Amino acid sequence: MCEFNIIIVTILKDKVRPVFPFTAIVGQEEMKLALLLNVIDPKIGGVMIMGDRGTGKSTTIRAIADLLPKIEVVQDDLFNSHPSDYDLMSDSVKSQIESSNHLPTRFIDVPMVDLPLGATEDRVCGTIDIEKALSEGVKTFEPGLLAKANRGILYVDEVNLLDDHLVDILLDAAASGWNTVEREGISVRHPARFVLVGSGNPEEGELRPQLLDRFGMHAEIRTVKEPSLRVKIVEQRSKFDSNPYICLEEFRDKQDELKSSIIAAQQRLPDVKIDYDLRVKISEVCGTLDVDGLRGDIVTNRAAKAYAAYKNKTKVDINDIKTVITLCLRHRLRKDPLETIDSGYKVQQVVDNILN
């Protein structure tokens, strides 16, 4: 009997903690679409999710990470380096490739890294052991959260409460795809390609407009009001909590179908085209809304292409743009830190006039 109990405990320890299936999430279509488009094209620049407490923000973000296919990494590498893409390799892996033809690799789940509110800059960026460097001449780097998040998702809950300096570091790394740590004249640089996802409650304050503009998309979520939908959400959650493995089995086909759609969209994305006339209309909308800079134009173009790829198309049409443009522009209209973010009404008015 004792041996049987030991076997059961071992099996449970070996099992990965189950994650609520993405396809079982009811409602919150804006948030789900923004996350899907960002994993199809990480160059969109991440997503800021703002909304009421208890609306499934964290659950949905973890669910999208669990949905993604495994990635191939160089074995024992600290930065999840890609075995063949130079842009996704650390310097040590590059030097090993130059001196050797083969590096052992393995497949891992897409990294899903949580950044805690109390994190320090060293915890986020990593640290260089100065003492060892000076005494032994060895450049020793202790990787931070940006290294662990490379080729994955970096999630910052309550990002609006995070120190502005740290938010700046995250956004710079997300935009450039690299993290550089410099201490006492010693510098270490490593790839940091990740989808940055921030969430928060607007009642606790908004990010400064300059920082908010750096997020590719902004999704708003609200508490579901319709009683039947609320009941469905509660039932789904209760079913998962009582027996997650039965729930996962129930949604396995839908999960596999969505996973295949994401992989196909990622492969199709380089071939998706958008006509010049439509690009002009996107820029006309941005100009009419007085959007500062060109980030709004760039992100809308990328998001429209990603959506077209997701819909199994190689050419963007006007409906693709209409679907994504509010997500890409609503947070760029706020000029004054004291203003609230437009819910999308202003964007929709201009879109209806120009994209008809």
Q: What is the pLDDT of residues 132-141, one digit of tens each?
A: 655 665 667 7
- Report the CATH number of the 19-70+109-222+240-262 domain: 3.40.50.300
- Whether residue 37 contacts residue 307, with contact meaning beta carbons closer than 8 Å, is answered with yes
Active site residues: 295
Q: Residue 5: is its pLDDT beyond 60?
A: no
Architecture of domain 272-354: Orthogonal Bundle (1.10)
Q: Six-digit token pair at 30?
A: 């804006």
Q: What is the pLDDT of residue 336?
A: 53
Residues 157 and 114: beta-carbon distance below 8 Å: yes
What distances in angstroms separate CA 299 from CA 42, 304, 317, 340, one per listed residue? 11, 8, 16, 22
Q: At what angle do helices 318-329 and 276-288 cross, to 10 degrees?
A: 30
Q: What is the pLDDT of residue 11?
A: 41
Percent of the chain with pLDDT over 70: 88
The confidence band for 2, taking pLDDT boundaries of 50, 70 and 90, is very low
Position 4 pLDDT exceeds 60: no
Domain ranges of the chain: 19-70+109-222+240-262, 272-354
Q: Are 180 and 187 in contact (CB under 8 A)?
A: yes
Start-to-end C-alpha separation, the chain: 72
Task: Point out the least confidently predicted range of 154-158, 325-329, 334-338, 340-344.
Answer: 334-338
For 273, other C-beta atoms within 10 Å of its C-beta total 11
Give bridge partners of residue 308 from the DSSP assignment.
none
Contact indicator for 297, 287 with CB cutoff of 8 Å: no
Task: Reply yes or no on whether the pLDDT at 337 is more than 70.
Answer: no
CA distance linking residue 26 with residue 29, whole number of Å: 8
